[in-house]
């Protein structure tokens, strides 16, 4: 079945460490997105990518980095520069020609700083 796979489901990070969240899709979608979800704030866009080897900052990119070396993969690295990384992270994708139908979302990764 086609879809988006995020891993791990839960992730714990010590302060000062970088961690990488995985996002893989087999939908042949061109565009991929990373959102952060905090209680009471909805979803906020971190980074997005429309094509391989290209990505753009979203509204809250500071302290995060991404890469898009393959169409199927869009990993997100939470760096030690991110002051408050504890949150729920959602990856999504869309086909450029079908984006009017919205996004397909992964099941998310819960990141906790310990």
Residues that bind another protein (CB under 8 A): 31, 33, 35, 40-45, 48, 50, 56, 58, 88, 90, 92, 94, 96, 99-103, 105, 107-108
Q: Give the shortest CB-75-to-another protein separation in angstroms.
A: 19
Strand partners, 110: 10, 88
Query: Do the beta carbons of residue 37 and residue 88 sit within 8 Å?
Result: yes
Q: CA-to-CA distance for 14 and 80, rounded, in angstroms? A: 9
Nearer to another protein (CB atom), residue 6 or residue 82:
6
Nearer to another protein (CB atom), residue 15 or residue 54:
54
Nearer to another protein (CB atom), residue 84 or residue 97:
97
Q: Give the shortest CB-32-to-another protein separation in angstroms.
A: 11
Q: Give the shortest CB-43-to-another protein separation in angstroms.
A: 4
Tokens matching residue 81: 């520069």
Task: Pick the closest to residue 68 from 109, 6, 24, 103 (CA basis).
Answer: 24
> Where do we find the tokens 């030690």?
80
């Amino acid at each position: 079945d086609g879809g988006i796979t995020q891993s791990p489901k839960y992730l714990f990070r010590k302060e000062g460490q970088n961690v990488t969240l995985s996002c893989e899709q087999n939908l042949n979608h061109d565009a991929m997105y990373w959102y952060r979800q905090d209680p009471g704030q909805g979803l906020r866009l971190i980074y997005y990518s429309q094509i391989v080897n290209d990505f753009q900052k979203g509204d809250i990119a500071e302290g995060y980095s991404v890469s898009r070396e393959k169409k199927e993969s869009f990993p997100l690295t939470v760096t030690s520069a991110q002051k408050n990384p504890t949150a729920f992270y959602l990856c999504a994708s869309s086909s450029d020609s079908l984006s009017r139908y919205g996004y397909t979302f992964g099941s998310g990764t819960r990141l906790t700083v310990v």
